[in-house]
Amino acid sequence: MAKKNQTLGEFIIENQASFKYTSGELSRLINSIRLAAKVVNHEVNKAGLVDIIGAAGETNIQGEDQQKLDVYANDKFIQTLTNRNIVCGIASEEEDDFIIVNSQDENHQNKYVVLIDPLDGSSNIDVNVSVGTIFSVYRRVTPVGTPVKLEDFLQKGSEQVAAGYVVYGTSTMLVYTTGDGVNGFTLNPAIGTFYLSHPNMEFPEDGKIYSVNEGNYIHFPIGVKKYIKYCQEEEGDRPYTSRYIGSLVSDFHRNMIKGGIYMYPKSSKNSNGKLRLLYECNPMAFIAEQAKGKASDGYNRILDVEPTELHQRIPFFCGSKNMVIKAEEFMSKHTE
């Protein structure tokens, strides 16, 4: 049972037995993510004081300009997970291909792979808006002791054993699940310790916030346009409030606490949507479902989607259950 003000370390130890693959390995993995998050948080918080904001001059595999903090966060998470000999493979949104860990070590018995978006919302860094880290953990499907392969990463979201995010905002929070509910931990910067501040987090069944980039309205499918108009109508408890930060972690976190829906649909500019299935949608969908919310591509459950490539994109609707169901109704009614 989650106890408020427990440290993250205490919580991991106390709840380790509730995890069906209990071996201590996953606990050490979460601890490593905690350590890397604290290092990245320190750098994010002094971004305006040192030369670490702005573009790095490179583009990632998606053709997007990398920010200096993108590169820094990517390096720190990979370095921490690799050096502590906890995982057998890592895939990052910032890397072209997955990383094989300790493939030459015959005694390498690690069973987990991590997929990570090291710094979500990095376009907001220069203007001091909240950014975050998203991570996802799977048990490998290829034989333990051999180098990981692509199929270890291309697993359906329903196969995740853990997922979480870190939001670097007015306070820094680590929120995660191992399939037994969702809990949030807030960093006390004075002593560098995460404390359980948000036990048993859940989406309200209904909400009054819709989060979507309405600047792309003209490019959206008709079903999405109709749903946005529905949100704006004067009827019942509507109109809803429009809130869009442009950082998935921040928008998701607010909607989980207050009740709302986040949408990044396909459009005439992005025919497959823009968010990545493996690094963003699957982990957030797993958290959402564990928090009694819902996640969909507009028609189907996100966690049932069969991945075909590492950097696959997909439309994403996620949040309070009844709001997502209503958005799906509009999508089904107005197919194009």
* Contact in structure between 25 and 111 (CB atoms under 8 Å): yes
Rg of the Cα atoms in the chain: 19
119 marked among binding-site residues: yes
Q: What is the pLDDT of residue 19?
A: 62
- Residue 213 known to bind ligand: yes
For residue 239, is the peptide bond before it cis, meaning its omega torsion is within 30 degrees of 0? yes
| One fold for 8-198 and 209-333 | no
Domain ranges of the chain: 8-198, 209-333
Q: How many CB atoms lie within 10 A of CB 170?
A: 7
Cα(7)–Cα(185) distance, integer angstroms: 8
C-beta separation of 75 from 43 below 8 A: no
38 known member of a binding site? no
The answer to whether the annotation marks 123 as part of a ligand binding site is: yes
d(CA 250, CA 133): 10
Kindly indicate the confidence band of residue 50, based on its pLDDT and cuts at 50, 70 and 90: very low
52 has pLDDT over 50: no
- DSSP states along 52-83: --SEEEEE-TTSPEEEHHHHHHHHHHHHHHHH
Give the DSSP letter string of 268-314.
SS-BTBSSBIIIIIHHHHHHHHHTTEEEESSSSBGGG----STT-B-
> Is residue 122 marked as binding?
yes
pLDDT digits 0-9 by tens, 252-281: 999 999 999 999 999 999 999 999 999 999
pTM: 0.92
Looking at residue 51, its pLDDT comes to: 46
CA dihedral 16→18→19→25, nearest 10 degrees, is 10
Residue 22 identity (one-letter amino acid): T
Q: Is the pLDDT of residue 134 over 80?
A: yes
Residue 167 sits at φ, ψ, to 5 deg, of -110, 125
Supply the mean pLDDT for the chain: 89
Distance CA 17, CA 252 (A): 29
Three-state DSSP class for residue 174: strand
The answer to whether 289 is a known ligand-binding residue is: no
Is 120 known to sit in a ligand binding site? yes
The domain defined by 8-198 folds into: Fructose-1,6-Bisphosphatase; Chain A, domain 1 (3.30.540)
Separation of alpha carbons 88 and 124, rounded Å: 32
Predicted local distance difference test score (pLDDT) of residue 174: 96
Which range has highest mean pLDDT (80-89, 139-148, 318-327)? 318-327
* C-alpha separations of 331 from 171, 203, 220 in Å: 37, 22, 11
Q: Evaluate if residue 64 carries a pLDDT over 60.
A: no
Work out the pLDDT band at 211, boundaries 50, 70, 90: very high
- How many Å apart are CA 162 and CA 287, to the nearest integer? 9
CA 300, CA 292: separation in Å to the nearest integer?
A: 17
Confidence of residue 58 (pLDDT cuts 50, 70, 90): low
Q: Does the pLDDT at position 22 exceed 70?
A: no
pLDDT value for 313: 97
The DSSP-derived string for 228-252 is HHHHHS-STTPSPEE---S-HHHHH
pLDDT at 56: 46
Q: Is 280 annotated as a binding residue?
A: yes
Distance CA 117, CA 74 (A): 8
138 is in an annotated binding site: no
Within 8 A by CB and 6+ apart from 92, the residues are 74, 77, 78, 99, 115, 116, 117, 118, 279
Give strand pairing partners of 116: 92, 135
The helix/strand/coil state of 154 is coil
Q: What is the CATH number of domain 209-333?
A: 3.40.190.80
